[in-house]
Amino acid sequence: MTAQIHVWSDYVCPFCLIADELIERAISDRPDVEVVHHAHELRPRPAPTLRPEDPYLPDIWQRAVYPMARRHEVPMRLPTISPQPYTELAFRGAQYALEQNRADVYHRRVMTAFFRENLDIGDRVVLARLAEEAGLDPAGYTAALDDQEYAERHRQALAESVRMDIGVVPTIIIGTRRIEGVATEGVIRRALHETSAA
């Protein structure tokens, strides 16, 4: 029986990349575990997104992001794109990737593109290239970005996030266990064990 790890995240959340890495490590020997990604936009339009030249981002990265990333050996750096991109388009593309059974690899590619390669994941051309690298048809992907069906699926995903009372990303749900923030490999493994033993 397949166990599931549900993760609510945003592509511009550095802690979400760290969480992804730790989940991957925790389940490296567990082919029976499926990771299901859910959308949660931290700053949906028309709210302004953050700018790396303002004090907040450099401060939080120095105080919290870089120390945690170093501790868990997750390479990343503060992107210089200003203002930070909106993630609605990338999430619409994620709905297409899900339909094509490439959700995991797409999610990972978009996340690492932003935090390791300093790429603008709000740019359609960049997203289409990332989608192709994730094994998706770039023409089909680009068409999906403007298709109202995928826009509606994303709206439904955001509505689910509200129903689940997601206020922090990452939020990780394993069985009845809800973890707000980054979970260590040990915590993830224990939660999976508790779920399978229940």
**Rounded mean pLDDT of 124-133?**
98
pLDDT, residue 197, reads 78
Instruction: Please give the CATH topology (third level) of the domain spanning 3-197.
Output: Glutaredoxin (3.40.30)
Contact 90, 11 (CB under 8 A): yes
pLDDT, residue 196, reads 83
pLDDT, residue 6, reads 98
> Domain ranges in the chain?
3-197
pLDDT of 107 > 90? The answer is: yes
pLDDT of 198 > 80? The answer is: no
pLDDT in tens, 41-80: 999 999 999 999 999 999 999 999 999 999 999 999 999 9
pLDDT, residue 194, reads 92
pLDDT of 148 > 80? The answer is: yes
CA distances from 127 to 62, 66, 78, 187 (A): 28, 26, 19, 33
User: Which residues fall within 8 angstroms of residue 38, CB to CB, at 6 or more apart?
Assistant: 6, 7, 8, 9, 157, 160, 161, 166
pLDDT in tens, 152-163: 999 999 999 999
pLDDT of 183 > 90? The answer is: yes
Looking at the chain, the whole-number percentage of residues with pLDDT higher than 70 is 99
pLDDT in tens, 6-28: 999 999 999 999 999 999 999 99
Query: Across the chain, what does the average pLDDT equal?
Result: 97
Structure tokens belonging to residue 25: 């490590």
Predicted TM-score (pTM) of the model is 0.96
